[in-house]
A and B are shown apart, each in its own frame.
Chain A
Amino acid sequence: MQASDTSTAPRDLLMVRDLRVEFQSQRGSALVVDGISYNVRAGETVALVGESGCGKSVSSMALLGLLARSTARVSGQALLGGAELIGMPPRALEDVRGRDISMIFQEPMTSLNPSLTVGTQIAEVLQRHRGLSVRQALAEAVGLLSLVQIPNPARRVFDYPHHLSGGQRQRVMIAIAIACRPKLLIADEPTTALDVTIQAQILDLLAELQQRFGMGLLLITHDLGVVAEIADRALVMYAGRIVEEAEARELFAHPRHPYTRGLMAARPQVTASHRRGRLAEIPGSVPIRTAQSVGCAFAERCSYVQPRCRAETPAQADKGRGHRVACWQADAIPRLPVEAVA
């Protein structure tokens, strides 16, 4: 099932297979990530896109061992350059984080230490993973600040996070993340808290750094516009599963899954010819899945639903050129762009 039969190309940097995350609580268990599989190649930007609660963030935190072991049960495989991340001892994982994989988040202020200068915080990573002296590390921090295009880097290394704007703080987080030239950068909603003009700057910066260092970039976002701007490939998640996967251009030209199509139609656009009036809605809301759930998680909200959809969870099927869809009705859905049918 899923994409486990996909052969690994030599350039595959990250290979995730049948990743599952189940949360246990007093109220029962919830299957938040339900067997997802994907690859990220070196130099490639893969977007994991979906709405709140679809499992996109949780799945990437599972890769880095950032979920509490007491409540989250993680299974599956995640190979980074041949090393298995799932179940790796915490000590070993600490060496991997910041060196081979780095992660940046939506709100840099919660990840930065408010009582340390940004220079010190960048230097810490270099000291920890590359064994540099304080002096060497601070000198390199200045270089990194200039790499992320912060003006007057030699002065700004002595600034505290609260001296910086939201956009500059995110630049500092990026500097910390790329300090050791990781193979993979995971960016979780990196521009969601920023104004549009600053968002455009940060997306350009990420794309530029990625090209320069040949990093893999796993971009987690709710925003299809951001996907269109910088992703090579997109994985659409719904209720813990990847329901559609395609090259970004192909996805926007020929979305096949009813959920993907619904998302595209519901999204107001600056480019659409001015039509003041109702937007297409996806009725209802996302269900909570457990290990016992059967059928397609989108069935209750889907206008193409058939009895089979409620009885059997749809497997991913290859529709050609790497376009994979998990929908029993995929072939019955018009293959027109969303705007043409809306």
Chain B
Amino acid sequence: MTIAETTMPTATCTQPILQVEELHTHFAARHASGGRRLVRAVDGVSFSIAPGETLAVVGESGCGKSTVGRTVVRLINPTSGRIVLEGEDITRTREKQLRPLRRKMQMVFQDPYSSLDPHMTVGEAIAEPLEIHGLLDRSRRRARVLELLERVGLGAQYLDRYPHEFSGGQRQRVGIARALTLNPKLIIADEPVSALDVSIQAQVINLLLDLQQQLGLAYLFISHDLAVVRHISDRVAVMYLGRIVELAATEQLFAAPLHPYTDALLASAPRTSRKGSRKPLSGEVPDPANPPAGCAFHPRCRFAQARCRAEAPPLRDLAPGRFAGCHFPLTGT
């Protein structure tokens, strides 16, 4: 069984809502010295998401997690690989034909302020996708917008207000309402709660959980925050320098990480109760345009050996539903 074929153990017989196989997204980056270099922002990533499931993609800045999200919704064109949405290959679908597909998947961004037009009322912003797709007449559109506002915990009184009149948490609710307008089955959420205060973050996480239950949504939840991920996701994919280094059910991954990088990420996360001392990971993420040979993590890895410097470890099936790309995975003891 390949990784792309696996989903939640309970959902293996249903067709995945999204299937991503060997996805590559490369960019030509200009170097300070003037030369052009290739950045493999996404370098062979495979996963799938079952209907109603949440897969989190977690990692530090520059690991490629956001590029994965943007490539999947085709805001960026992939270099190679396959993106399959409900059985339909959309990897090379042309812009015009993408429109009906966008009804099935929508994106929610970190800062809704930058994705909302400041001159549009919230009502207009939420209705816009309906206009673009020529759906519903005027009065039905209004009813739909009111229903959506209600669903995200904002009342009808917000209909004619402008984005600047909203707090960060309220704007994210508007961003979510807009994403829901066309009844998508999959939401790609890129750091949706990262800019919010803790008490507001909890409100938005709860809203996402409620909406998932009510509407059967699947989420591709992109985040740098392990604690949030632990709370919201069924499965977690950990990315480092363009690749998935570990993929597992949330509970398993947090209980006993197999990849030393996952282990280090967990150890670095600040926590209010700590047993024993924290051993911070040394060094920084290498330049993605000039990744280390062999395993990209080896310069920072406590367990690195000669083989790690020479040979890139493939993502391997180490236990049912558990994958890690490491020559010497942790035993989980």
Q: Do A and B come from one complex?
A: yes
Interface residues of A (CB under 8 A from B): 51-52, 163, 165-168, 195-201, 203-204, 222-229, 252, 262-264, 266-272, 274-282, 285
Interfacial chain B residues near A195, Cβ < 8 Å: 60-61, 224, 285
> Could you give 21 example pairs across A and B, Cβ below 8 Å?
A52-B168, A163-B32, A168-B284, A195-B61, A195-B285, A196-B270, A199-B270, A200-B267, A200-B281, A225-B270, A225-B271, A227-B272, A229-B270, A252-B272, A268-B228, A268-B230, A269-B271, A274-B230, A275-B231, A278-B205, A280-B202
Closest 4 interchain pairs by CB?
Answer: A225-B270, A200-B280, A195-B60, A266-B202
Q: Is the CB of A281 within 8 A of B231?
A: no
Contact A285 B169 (CB under 8 A): yes
A264, B205: Cβ atoms closer than 8 Å: no
Give the distance in Å from the alpha carbon of A268 to the alpha carbon of B206 in the complex.
Answer: 11
Known A222-B198, A270-B269, A282-B199; further 9 A-B contacts with Cβ < 8 A? A165-B284, A196-B60, A201-B281, A228-B273, A268-B228, A268-B231, A270-B226, A274-B251, A276-B231
How many A-B Cβ pairs are below 8 Å?
Answer: 129
Contacts of B119 in A (CB 8 A): none
Once the chains are docked, how many angstroms separate the CA of A225 from the CA of B266? 13
Whether a CB of chain A sits under 8 angstroms from the CB of B264 is yes
| Nearest A residue to B200, CB-CB | A285
Residues in A with CB closer than 8 Å to B225 are 268
Q: B309 to nearest A CB, angstroms?
A: 20
Distance (Å) between the CB of A252 and the closest chain B CB?
5
Mask, B250-269, CB within 8 Å of A = 1, is 11001100000000111111
Q: Are B205 and A269 in contact (CB under 8 A)?
A: no
Q: B201 contacts the other chain (Cβ, under 8 Å)? A: yes
Please state if B198 and A276 are interface contacts (CB–CB under 8 Å). Answer: no
Interface residues on B, range: 35 or more
Query: A residues within 8 A CB of B198?
Result: 51, 222, 224, 263, 266-267
Contact (Cβ within 8 A) B269 A281: no
- Of chain B, the residue at the smallest CB distance from A204 is B280
CB of B110 within 8 Å of the partner chain: no
Q: How far is the CA of A52 from the CA of B201 in the complex (A)?
A: 12
Q: Take A204-B280, A268-B231, A276-B231 as given contacts and tell me if A224 and B272 are in contact as well, using a CB distance cutoff of 8 Å.
A: yes
Please give the distance in Å from A192's CB to the nearest CB on chain B: 10
**A127 to chain B: closest CB distance in Å?**
29
- Given known A-B contacts A196-B60, A281-B203, A268 and B227 have beta carbons under 8 A apart: yes
Task: Render B187-202 as a binary contact track against A, CB cut-off 8 A, 1 for contact.
Answer: 0000000000111111
Query: Chain A residues with Cβ under 8 A from B203's Cβ?
Result: 281
Whole-angstrom distance from the CB of A222 to the nearest CB of chain B?
7
Q: Which of A198, A262, A266, A271 contacts B201 (CB 8 A)?
A: A266
A227 to B206, CA, bound (A): 25
A67 to chain B, nearest CB (A): 22
Determine how close the nearest CB of chain B comes to the CB of A220; give it in whole angstroms. Answer: 14
- Does A228 lie within 8 Å of B270, measured CB to CB? yes
Q: Compute how far the CA of A262 lies from the CA of B232 in the bound complex, rounded to whole angstroms.
A: 19
The reply to whether A270 and B254 form a contact with Cβ atoms under 8 Å apart is: yes
A278 touches B268 (CB 8 A): no
B278 at the interface (CB under 8 A from A): yes
Q: Which of B165-190 contact A (CB under 8 A)?
A: 167-169
Q: Is the C-beta of B234 less than 8 angstroms from some C-beta in chain A? A: yes
Chain B residues within 8 Å of A276, by CB? 231-234, 250
Cβ–Cβ < 8 Å partners of B60 in chain A:
195-198
Please tell me if the beta carbons of A267 and B227 are within 8 angstroms of each other in the complex: yes
- B209 in the interface, Cβ–Cβ < 8 Å? yes
Which single member of B206, B233, B268, B273 contacts A196 (CB below 8 Å)? Answer: B268
Determine if A279 and B205 form an interchain contact, defined as CB atoms under 8 angstroms apart: yes
Q: How far is the CA of A280 from the CA of B280 in the complex (A)?
A: 30
Cβ–Cβ contact B269 & A225, under 8 A: yes
The distance in angstroms between the C-alpha atoms of A167 and B278, with both chains bound, is 18
Asked whether A269 lies within 8 Å of B199 as measured between CB atoms, the reply is no
| Chain A neighbourhood of B94, CB < 8 A | none
A269 touches B201 (CB 8 A): no
Contacts of A274 in B (CB 8 A): 230, 250-251, 254-255
Output the least CB separation between A195 and chain B (Å).
4
The answer to whether the Cβ of B274 comes within 8 Å of any Cβ in the partner chain is: yes
Structural contact, A200 and B268, CB atoms closer than 8 A: yes
Residue of B nearest to A259 (CB): B199
With a cutoff of 8 Å between Cβ atoms, the chain B residues found around residue A252 in the complex are 272-273
Q: Is the CB of A271 within 8 A of B273?
A: yes
B271 and A197 form a contact (CB under 8 A): no
Q: Which residue of A lies closest to B227 (CB)?
A: A268
In angstroms, Cα B284 to Cα A269, docked, is 24
Are the C-beta atoms of B202 and A281 separated by less than 8 Å? yes
Chain A, Cβ-Cβ closest to B199:
A282
Which residue of A51, A226, A227 contacts B199 across the interface (Cβ within 8 Å)? A51
Name the residue on A nearest B270 (C-beta): A225
